[in-house]
Amino acid sequence: MPYTHEVLFKTLADPTRRAIFERLCREGEQTVGALTARAGVSQPAVSKHLGVLKQAGLVLDRHEGRQTHYSAQPGALAPLIDWTSQMAGFWQSRLDDLEDLLKRMDQ
Amino acid sequence: MNEKSTETLSVVVEREIPYPPEKIWRALTQPHLIEEWLMKNDFKPVVGHRFDLRADWGTVDCRVLAVEPNKTLSYTWEAHGLESVVTWTLTPSSTGTHLRIDQSGFRPDQQQAYQGAKGGWPRFFAALEQLLARTD
């Protein structure tokens, strides 16, 4: 998946979804009910956000009786960190070429 | 650090260059010169102008957002379905020019939403980088 960062950007663009993911990162595994109590949106909405997060590989679900527990998978964020370092590397090498060009230019 | 770069996820690269801003400006804005250090292009220093940057690996779709000769140049940068904004800032220094490039990784129309959201991206990423460091 060459453009994983694109999926992650889109998944985390929604502030409510990002807040749910942050809470799971900070506080560990939780049920949909516990997340809903503090999310400020309805349980179906929370479930939908969790489904999107799961598709992006950012959360895992675990069924126990009638409850589903969700946990964060922060390792799935690595491609986003990679994006910034890749772009920084890209611009450093472009600036090297720019400096070479400036040496060759008149004035 | 300006407000924008603290409120969005961005890549910043800065460099001291031993040439005056006017000369660097030419290299940043003349198509045949841009091609020598960046990519083939149909750039024009006109706000609203749409242009492509073309490389072997694909095309970057761009639109000029701001032009202030010898000082600031800004354009959108859309590749792989992700739109970002690239801003060049040239500041004269005692030895030449302080050149700064800032690439913000989100659509301009989304930036307001991000800025308004509690817990901005930089804090989010700082927290997650710590988490990643722990899980490695």
Q: Is A20 helix (H, G, I), strand (E, B) or coil?
A: helix
Task: Convert A44-76 to b/e letters by CB count within 10 Å (16 or more is b).
Answer: eebeebbebbeebbbbeeeeeeeeeebebbbeb
For the entire predicted model, the pTM comes to 0.63
For B11-36, how does the pLDDT look when each residue is reduced to its tens digit (9 = 90+)?
Answer: 888 999 999 999 999 999 999 999 99
Q: Confidence class of residue B3 from pLDDT cuts 50, 70 and 90?
A: very low
For A80-101, how does the pLDDT look when each residue is reduced to its tens digit (9 = 90+)?
Answer: 767 777 788 889 999 999 999 9
A59: distance to nearest CA of chain B, Å? 14
pLDDT surpassing 90 at residue B75: yes
Q: What is the pLDDT of residue B84?
A: 80
- Mutate which of A101, A103, A104, A106 to test chain B, going by most B C-beta atoms within 10 A? A101
Q: What is the pLDDT of residue B136?
A: 43
Q: Confidence class of residue B53 from pLDDT cuts 50, 70 and 90?
A: very high
- The predicted complex's ipTM stands at 0.72
The shortest CB-CB distance from A15 to any of B99, B117, B127 is to B117
Cβ of A97 and B36 within 8 Å?
Answer: yes
| Residues B87, B76 contacting (CB under 8 angstroms) | no
> Bridge partners of B8?
none
pLDDT surpassing 90 at residue A45: yes
Contacts of B38 in chain A (CB under 8 A): 94, 97-98
Cβ of B132 and A5 within 8 Å?
Answer: no
Cβ of B132 and A19 within 8 Å?
Answer: no
